[in-house]
Structures are given as structure tokens and as C-alpha cells.
Amino acid sequence: DKDKPLKGKNILVTAGGTQERIDPVRFIGNDSSGKMGFAIAIEAQKLGANVTLVSGVSKLPDPVGITTIRVKTAIELSEAITRRFAEQNILIMAAAVSDYRVQNVADQKIKKDEDTLTLTLEKNPDILKQLGKIKQNQYLVGFAAETQNGLINAQEKLEKKNLNLLVLNDVSNAAIGFNSNENEVTLLRPQMENIFIKQTSKKQIAGELLNVVISDLKK
């Protein structure tokens, strides 16, 4: 089917930002709006895929016809993906995952009695890295949100996490990346020339990214 090149493929997309609790009224979060991941999920569905969207915190509504699972913390995100990983053909991690969580989450609102307050953070699991280790035939796509030395850091993430493709975006540029409607990315793949996609809508980026995935899956 020419219009539906992803027909019969199961694809799981993550989107949005995670939130890590500090106490009942406070959390550690990030600026991800979910726009990038939701755009990928919607374009993949148009291309015929059977899409599961696992979203962290995002104000966007569930896309019509796409199974959408909402999570908050990195651990919840990890569990939601791991449970569904075996049946996936493609996994795309556009979510902005907190690298750390608060070690001792307070049961009650923390009082401002002291002049300084120290929070101890512990590392969250690196979800993509774990999936890179256990993947069978899954095509694994990661994102890299960088503010400096983008290409070098991205190349390292591609290799360390055993990915098929890594999407690099420069999040120090407010016109692209977090929360904006547009993005500008470089696609890195092992032993392949990088592909640069200049600033355009996240919808357009999503479509071009999926076209690269489709052509790789044909090989």
C-alpha cells in the first residue's frame, strides 16, 4: 500500500516531559510541551501504523484514534514502555526524561524554616540505554536535546544507547526545540551520512523522520 507504508507496523512514541515529586505540592519538571512527540504519533498514524503514544506531562489532548497513555515520572514512563516493548516494530523516544528523581519525597509540604534546603537526587534509569541492550528487531529512535557540542554528544548517544537513529536538536535556540511549533534537526545513523532538516514545522520534521525510518526498514 503506497499511501500507508507503515501498515501492519506497531510503533510506540513517547512525548512530553516527566515530573518528579519533591513534596505533595512541588515537583521537578522541564519545558517539554509534547508537540514533537504528538506530531510524530499523528504522522505515523496517517502513514498506516498502529500507534501507541506514551505521554509525560503535556497539555495537548489525546490524538483521535491513537491509544494514549499518560504518565508522570521517569519510572512510570519506563514501566509503560517496557510492558509494551516486545510487540513493537519501532520505538521513538521524543519525551524529555528527568535524569534524576528526589531520593526522599516528602509526605507533607516542606516548610520554609531553614535558610538553605538540600535535596538529594538519585539517578533515574536510562530507558533508551536499557532498551538498546534488550532490543531484538526493533528500530530504535532517540532524541538528543543539546545546548553545546551537539554533534559530538549526539554521536556518543547514538553509539552508547545502541540506536538505529538519533535526532539531534539544539534546545538553546528558543525558536526551535522545547515548546515552539518548529524544530530544526540533524538525523544521525550508524555508518550513514547525517541528514540535516532545516527549521520547519514539527509536523514536517515528523514526516521526514518517518520517511527515513521507512526507507531504512526496507533495506
Query: Does 163 sit near ligand PMT (CB under 6 A)?
Result: no
The amino acid occupying position 163 is L
Q: Using the rule CB under 6 A, which residue among 5, 132, 177, 207 binds ligand PMT? A: 177
Interface with ligand PMT (CB under 6 A), residue total 26
Query: Does 206 sit near ligand PMT (CB under 6 A)?
Result: no
- Give min distance, CB of 4 to ligand PMT, in A: 26
Query: Does 102 sit near ligand PMT (CB under 6 A)?
Result: no
Q: Using the rule CB under 6 A, which residue among 6, 9, 22, 35 binds ligand PMT? A: 35
Query: Does 6 sit near ligand PMT (CB under 6 A)?
Result: no
Q: Which residue's CB is nearer to ligand PMT, number 5 or number 40?
A: 40
Burial bucket for residue 119 (CB in 10 Å: 0-12, 13-18, 19+): middle
Query: Does 203 sit near ligand PMT (CB under 6 A)?
Result: no
Grid coordinates given for 6: 507503515
Query: Does 179 sit near ligand PMT (CB under 6 A)?
Result: yes
Q: Using the rule CB under 6 A, which residue among 126, 182, 184, 208 binds ligand PMT? A: 126
Query: Does 188 sit near ligand PMT (CB under 6 A)?
Result: no
Q: What span, in angstroms and rounded, lies between the C-alpha atoms of 124 and 210? A: 29
Q: What string of DSSP letters covers the chain?
A: --S-TTTT-EEEEEESB--EEEETTEEE-----SHHHHHHHHHHHHTT-EEEEEE-B--SPPPTTSEEEE--SHHHHHHHHHHHSTT-SEEEE--B--SEEESS--SSPPP--SS-----EEEPP-HHHHHHHH-SS-EEEEEEEESSSHHHHHHHHHHHTT-SEEEEEETT-TTSSTTSSEEEEEEE-TTS--EEEEEEEHHHHHHHHHHHHHHHHH-
Query: Does 56 sit near ligand PMT (CB under 6 A)?
Result: no
Query: Does 54 sit near ligand PMT (CB under 6 A)?
Result: no
Q: Using the rule CB under 6 A, which residue among 13, 53, 71, 93 binds ligand PMT? A: 93
Please tell me which residue in 10, 30, 194, 211 is annotated as part of the active site: 30
Enumerate binding residues for ligand PMT (CB under 6 A): 32-36, 74, 93-97, 99, 124, 126-128, 142-145, 157, 169, 171, 177-179
Catalytic residue annotation: 30
